Structure 1
Amino acid sequence: MAIIGAHALLYTSDPNALRAMLRDAFGFKHVDAGEGWLIFALPPAELGVHPADGPTFESGVRHQLTFMCDDIHATIRDLRSKGVKVNGEPKDQGFGITVMLGLPGGVEVMLYEPHHATALEGASR
């Protein structure tokens, strides 16, 4: 038996708006599991394991979903043009340049351009 993938969940007070944004603004491929319940294919992913201490953990974050990009400024321009809320301006955090995206129903995800090596196949870093 092998693990064949991962299934991530976003909880939102406005699932229809968030599904529409992931479909239309982010352009994620999807299937309709019935009654408009869209399941999205995500870009290639990697998994990092962080220690359970420090400011992120102490702020209440236990698990985090981030979207990676090659050019954060171009990606922000594109997403803003499609109605995605970008909270603030990008900041260099050392490990990469980050900004938070405000998605429908109070969902926040990080967008970042990594400065470190990635485990993604074909990654240029």
Structure 2
Amino acid sequence: MINGAHIVMYSRDAEADRGFFRDVLGWPYVDAGHGWLIFEAPPAELAFHPAEGEPSHELMLMCDDLDATTAELTAKGVEFTQPVTEAGWGRVTAFRLPGGGHISLYQPLHPRAHGR
């Protein structure tokens, strides 16, 4: 039986991105050896959206209060790369990782799969 999911993020600077998740986001982790950190992710949801081109994947982190979370992360030096967008399903923005990648952050306004 499937008992979890392992998300792999490819990065131009994996060490810096590991440090970001450890020090800025404060995610719990284990060291799998030689500084290879594996993070405990918060509860996750999986959704399928239609694609017109090649299928792709996107990681979106969720929060309860987008304004408070962006203020907290901005105070820690996080660079937001997208203004907050209001949509019927939620409020969304994005921030830059030290390794050059971007992650979306959103406050869902739709029913949540966890905590039903």
Same fold (TM over 0.5): yes
Letter in 2 for 1:120: H
Q: What stretches of structure 1 move > 3 A for 4+ residues in a row?
A: none
Letter in 2 for 1:119: A
Which position in structure 1 is the counterpart of 2:57? Answer: 63
Letter in 1 for 2:6: H
For the 8 Å contact 1:100–1:109, the answer to whether it is kept is yes
For the 8 Å contact 1:18–1:105, the answer to whether it is kept is yes
Which position in structure 1 is the counterpart of 2:22? Answer: 23
Q: CA RMSD in A?
A: 1.4
Mark the CA change 1:82 to 1:61 in structure 2 (over 3 Å): closer, same or farther.
Answer: farther
- The Cα offsets for residues 61-114 of structure 1, whole Å up to 9 and x where unpaired, read as 710000000100000011111222111321102211000111111211110001
Q: How many residues get paired?
A: 116
Which position in structure 1 is the counterpart of 2:67? Answer: 73
TM-score when normalising by structure 2:
0.93
Identical residues among aligned pairs (%): 44
For the 8 Å contact 1:12–1:104, the answer to whether it is kept is no
Is 1:48 paired with 2:47?
yes
In the TM superposition, what is the alpha-carbon distance from 1:48 to its structure 2 partner?
0.3
Name the CA distance, whole Å, in 1 between partners of 2:60 and 2:114: 14
Unaligned runs of 5+ in 2: none
Unaligned runs of 5+ in 1: none
Structure 1 counterpart SS, 2:19: helix
Is 1:96 paired with 2:96?
no
Which position in structure 1 is the counterpart of 2:99? Answer: 105
Name the CA distance, whole Å, in 2 between partners of 1:78 and 1:28: 15
Mark the CA change 1:106 to 1:63 in structure 2 (over 3 Å): closer, same or farther.
Answer: same
